[in-house]
Amino acid sequence: MVLRDKVVLVTGSSRGIGRAAGDAFATRGSIVVLNSRADVAAGEQAAHAIAERGGTADYLQADVSDQDDVNRLFDEIERRYGPVDILVNNAGRTESMPILESTAEHWRHMLNVNLMSTVLCSIRAARTMPAGGAIINTSSIRGFDANGREGVMAYSAAKAAVNNFTRTLAKELAPTIRVNAVAPGFVATSYMDRVEEPLRQSWLDNIPLREFITPEQIAEAYVYLAEAPYVTGTILTADAGFTLGHG
């Protein structure tokens, strides 16, 4: 797919991977719409920064785990720019909670934020997305068998569901729309600043390439999946080798 002038919505894009993905599409000449539920000022600043570099970007606030907000978001994008050509489902978050302390509310929240946001936006996008469009979901290495992490079980389960949803949706929307996902490993976002050094170092020691991935590097995976006309139903792992195992 030629990305110039394509309308690209990146959810959860006021910072981190989402913001980097928005920047990457903007440099290819796409019309980029950034989105977040909170941190509105950061989202607006990100869109302004793209515009200052000569790109086209807008910011729209919405809670994409809420059906009404999803409809409002897409209706406004279509009013301003036309239908979304490329949807990057990046909204999500993780919260640590031991399983015996977890509550139904915690599980519902994690599933809503990490899974239902992807489901709701994908359904709404597919209703009006032109032929040849692409949906790219954000999974995680925690969504793979044996890679879920204790303490973040609800997040891991939600990302496993995203993997299954991605592959099944790819079959249902083919041949009109391609559906793929990116499964990042350990990424050097602001989250890393909150991780205690011993744990951080243990992760690094178990990464064969011996480095954390930058958001900018991960962003190129989204661009690749948007451009590749022959790839659908793929979960692209970008983890510097972590899931290879450690011998």
57: region left, alpha or beta (phi > 0 left; psi from -120 to 50 alpha): beta
Pairwise CA distance, residues 152 & 102, whole Å: 10
Kindly compute the dihedral angle of the four CA atoms of residues 125, 218, 200, 157, in this order, to the nearest 10 degrees. 30
- 3-class SS string, 14-59: CCHHHHHHHHHHHHCCCEEEEEECCCHHHHHHHHHHHHHCCCEEEE
Q: What is the DSSP letter of 212?
A: P
Q: Is 155 a catalytic residue?
A: yes
From first CA to last CA, the distance across the chain in angstroms is 40
Per annotation, catalytic residue among 59, 81, 155, 222: 155
Residues annotated catalytic, as ranges: 155
